[in-house]
Amino acid sequence: MSSVTFSESAAPATQAPVLSPVAADVSGITDNASRGTLVLADGTTYAGYSFGADKSISGEVVFNTGMVGYPEALSDPSYRGQILVLTYPLIGNYGVPDMDVKDEFNLPKFFESGTVQISGLIVSEYSFQHSHWNAVKSLGDWLKEHNVPALFGIDTRMITKRIRSLGAVLGKIEFEGQATEIADPNKTNLVAEVTVKEVTVYNKGASPKIVAFHCGMKHNIVRYLASKGVELTVVPYDYDLPNSELQYDGIFISNGPGDPTMASKTIESIRWAINQENPKPIFGICLGNQILALAAGATTYKMKYGNRGMNQPCIDMRTTRCYITPQNHGYAVDSNSLPEGWKTFFMNANDKSNEGIIHEHKPFFSVQFHPEACGGPTDTAFLFDMFLEKVNSAPPKLTVMDTSLYDRPTFSK
């Protein structure tokens, strides 16, 4: 496997990065590669080589610490509007699977949406050779097909340290002759860009019936819910639930990108739902956690640099059990703003940020992390069962509320 790496210093846009000795075998490739520059809003520049589309773009620069799972991450709608920096040093070595391969629900089997969602990609070393039984193309070819720029030969861990030190930062990937301005994607309604346009029903005629607000819903969430045999009705984020005739037994609020306050239509529907005399159970994930909190009267805030990776430890505040969770968010719920009747469900063991909320008496709860994983651990997949137990009005079989520290909840398929 051949790869390319460069020195750790950030080079100005006019100075070519210096090849390391291990790059000698592919130096001919870089001789013909386009040059591009990552420019941060503070003026810092990082020069690299292109392996995606030669297209100038801007976005919020964020980092992900996962070692694997780039096909899932790059197709995750929660990354909409972002320039993704991958801290793992070697990327692309196992290629990209076939997006035309569908699962039983006619969804792309190996991806979290039908397209590449990121605005741009930054990696340290890009593998020009890939090998995997399931791969049909290279990462670079996939990005070019979707017109997404990508640079390699940049010290991504240096960028990560800078983001961790300075906080969330805007930036742009720029190519010669393609000047572009830096813009903040969080000032636009990113949810409106990634939501579905029409109502879709899975397992029509089944019971119970779940309505899911698609704010950028990952495909693996659809799989988890639909595989439980429920009738799953996926609706756009701005679906007018109070004035609809839709029959349902429970409500799900999905993940999604950007500032949660932009999803005002979803917040209005959830606020109406939680104030009903006999409310239906509600479960939210990621952005869904923030939307449920806002509907309840709490507030959210922009985190310093967010949590994006596969190994974030989260503590269940009822049992003190800790779970390892995959995450992808830059906003969080302010636990101190939760109104009467609401409690913190999970807390991040690293930064103490809110990782979930739950109502003391009513069937409402949500989590900030991703129990459906893809990629990452599935330690908290039992939360889907917990939701459906509430929907079915059945006593919990095994939940985080009434088990000992030594009994591990399980997810039944």
Q: Judge whether 293 lies within some domain.
A: yes
Last residue in a domain, options 165, 186, 207? 186
Distance CA 311, CA 315 (A): 13
What's the mean per-residue pLDDT of the chain?
91
Q: Does 9 reside within a domain?
A: no
Give the pLDDT confidence of 127-143 residue by residue, as tens digits. 999 999 999 999 999 99
Question: What's the domain range around 277?
Answer: 190-391
Query: Across residues 245-256, what is the average pLDDT?
Result: 98
Residue 410 has a pLDDT of 60
Strands (E), 215-273: 231-236, 250-253
CATH of the domain at 377: 3.40.50.880
pTM exceeding 0.75: yes
User: Which distant-in-sequence residues (6+ apart) come within 8 Å of 211 by Cβ?
Assistant: 233, 235, 241, 246, 248, 250, 251, 252
Same domain? For 209 and 325 the reply is yes
Tokens of 95: 């290629």
What is the predicted pLDDT for the residue at 370?
97
Q: Among residues 216, 174, 145, 214, which one has the least CA distance to residue 39? A: 174
pLDDT number for residue 166: 87
Tell whether 250 is covered by a domain: yes
122 and 222 belong to one structural domain: no
> Residue 180 is part of a domain; what is its CATH number?
3.50.30.20
Residues 6+ apart with CB under 8 A from 314: 322, 323, 324, 325, 346, 347, 348, 349, 355, 356, 367, 369, 380
The two three-digit tokens of residue 249, written as one number: 């037994």
15 within domain boundaries: no
Residues 73 and 203 in one domain: no
Q: Helix 287-296 vs helix 264-274: angle between axes, to the nearest 10 degrees?
A: 60
Cα 214 to Cα 199: distance, rounded to the nearest angstrom? 10
Domain co-membership, 53 together with 92:
yes
Of the pLDDT bands very low, low, confident and very high (cuts 50, 70, 90), residue 33 is confident
| Same-domain status, 354 and 386 | yes
| 181 and 206 both lie in a single domain | no
The yes-or-no answer on residue 322 being catalytic is no
Q: Is residue 98 part of a domain?
A: yes
Whether residues 128 and 212 fall in one domain: no
Q: Which of 286, 314, 322, 374 is catalytic?
A: 286
How many domains, the chain?
2
Whole-angstrom distance, CA of residue 250 vs CA of residue 232: 10
- Please report, rounded to a whole number, the percentage of residues in the chain having pLDDT higher than 90: 86
**CA–CA distances in Å: residue 178 to residues 58, 132, 166, 171, 174:** 12, 36, 28, 15, 7
Q: How far is CA 326 from CA 116, 216, 292, 311, in A?
A: 19, 17, 20, 6
Using DSSP, state whether 269 is helix, strand or coil: helix
